[in-house]
Structure 1
Amino acid sequence: MTRPAAIVTGGARGIGLACAEALADAGFDILVADLADQAPANLAANITARAAKFAYIRCDIANLESHADLVDTAMRAFGRIGCLVNNAGIGAVVRGDLLDLKPDNFDRALGINLRGTVFLSQAVAKAMLRQPGDHAKSIITITSVSAEMASPERSEYCMSKAGLSMWVKNLALRLASENIGVFELRPGIIRTDMTAGVTAKYDALIEGGLVPAKRWGEASDIGAMVAALAAGRLGFSTGSIINVDGALSVPRL
């Protein structure tokens, strides 16, 4: 058990997959938790080609009863948990006037993005605290620039990410003395399946200067930062918010 192990929720595609790949390249064994009954074709081969062990579990993080099985699966597969990447989440169910926001859509976004992530983090943190040794441990939560920047047409998404940001702060305070680094990553406009339907809109906005870096973010940009944080060299920065957005969120005149 010399290699660390990481859990990546929503790790079968997009940002989650990029995080799993980057962590595997950095020497982590990987448990991917996602909604499909079985791991997507080639996912196991993709991770094991990086000299990492691979495990998969179907898990809907909104179902709190599934969290114990996820933790148990990781412990059986790898013997310990060095990193949790909270990536699983959904966008607004329906984009539109916030005065038309439906309670069911609000509940779905908050149930997955906030409630599910909070209690999975709690379960994994407890497992980490039971582990002997002083190896690096981290809980890295993917939020969004929408934790700070409002979008009235998808207000429930913004609220879920803002709430998650406050959870990260509280969790960082609780775990700081336990040598568990807790971090929040805020992606900006990232090229994924979630943004595929608004590609033309954001192409125009980026061309018009919305993103100072003048390009889309890529999932690999997030994966690289996750791997750096999980390595444990930035542990004294626990509680930090790291923007991965090409300076999109920097206030300017």
Structure 2
Amino acid sequence: MFYRLHVMDIQDSGSRVALVTGGMGGIGKGIALALAARGFGVVVADRRIDPARADGLRTAFPASARVAFVEGDLADLDDHPRFVNAAFDAFGRLDVLVNNAGVSVLSRGDLLDVSPDSYDLNFSVNTRGTFFLTQAVSRRMLEVEPAGVESARSIIFVSSSNAAIAAPERGEYAMSKAAIAMTSKLYALRLAAHGIAVYEVRPGLISTPMTQVAQERFDNLLAGGFTPINRWGMPEDVGRAVATLAAGDLPFTTGTAIQVDGGMHIHHY
């Protein structure tokens, strides 16, 4: 399904275009809005695009924003060619891929009780699907002559603080995100010579529907001073970090991980 909402003249605008997976809500929505605020055309992708919900989301964008919506299931590798073509065709180009879509565990609990279904779900979407979507988009990007400007094009992986901080109660999720951290480095090495920068963004405790299941637990931890910047992060915090990277505001960098976690990653006592 390809559902275009608001498109200005895409031939002479000159602005770059970003694809955001999992862009209909949570962190993905925060990223899409931040990119639009920086002048990017935004292709919002999600497993299912409900037209009524998409119309509602459009009102959050600036009136002049160029936004298109494309359905795509990361876990369905056979559908990737159609999905990638739709993303590129939305505005005739694609300069930035933001790998944000992901799933969490089927149920939190003892590591000894992790089910194969939950393990396979996390790796099929968070790792396998993301890897092969990046592969397909990278191939298409390499068909276009490089612009000759560092960081004019980029691929950004949204992982998690759990890529480095162990979380036994959702071990399969943490492992899938640790794999994404390495995926980012590998693609950074492969694509640097072509002027495509690759980054990893590690959100920490971000207030989204996905984290609501553990809200009470983390509210209690924050009450005791859980992180140096002691509050819940918001999707717009992650969005601004991603937009900074996508805009090329950190030249001469690739393969690095940006921690958007209120300092949670700092080892201290």
Q: Please indicate the TM-score interval, normalised by the length of the shorter structure.
A: over 0.9
2:25 matched residue in structure 1: 13
The count of residues paired between Structure 1 and Structure 2 equals 252
2:34 matched residue in structure 1: 22
TM-score computed with the length of structure 2 as normaliser: 0.90
Task: Tell me if structure 1 keeps the 8 A contact 2:49–2:69.
Answer: no
2:60 matched residue in structure 1: 46
Task: Tell me if structure 1 keeps the 8 A contact 2:97–2:155.
Answer: yes
1:86 matched residue in structure 2: 99
In structure 2, how many angstroms separate the alpha carbons of the residues matched to 1:69 and 1:97? 39
Task: Tell me if structure 2 keeps the 8 A contact 1:180–1:235.
Answer: no
Give the C-alpha shift of residue 154 in structure 1: 0.4
Give the C-alpha shift of residue 236 in structure 1: 1.4
Per the alignment, do residues 214 and 37 of structure 1 end up closer, same or farther by CA in structure 2, a change over 3 Å counting? closer
Give the C-alpha shift of residue 128 in structure 1: 1.1
Q: Per the alignment, in what secondary structure is the counterpart of residue 60 of structure 2? A: helix
Task: Tell me if structure 2 keeps the 8 A contact 1:187–1:243.
Answer: yes
Alignment of 1:103 onto 2:92: no
2:7 matched residue in structure 1: none
Superposed, which structure 2 residues align to 1:232-251 within 5 Å? 232-251=248-267
The percentage of counterpart residues that share the same residue type is 45
In structure 2, how many angstroms separate the alpha carbons of the residues matched to 1:50 and 1:21? 12
2:174 matched residue in structure 1: 158
- Give 1:128's aligned amino acid: M
Offset from partner CA, 1:172-220 (integer Å, 9 cap, x none): 0111111101000000000000111211111110121111111111110
Any gaps of 5 or more consecutive residues in structure 2? 1-10
Alignment of 1:64 onto 2:77: yes
Task: Tell me if structure 1 keeps the 8 A contact 2:200–2:255.
Answer: yes
Alignment of 1:77 onto 2:111: no
Give the C-alpha shift of residue 70 in structure 1: 2.0
Give the C-alpha shift of residue 74 in structure 1: 2.2
- Give 1:207's aligned amino acid: A
Q: Per the alignment, in what secondary structure is the counterpart of residue 89 of structure 2? A: helix
In structure 1, how many angstroms separate the alpha carbons of the residues matched to 2:97 and 2:127? 15
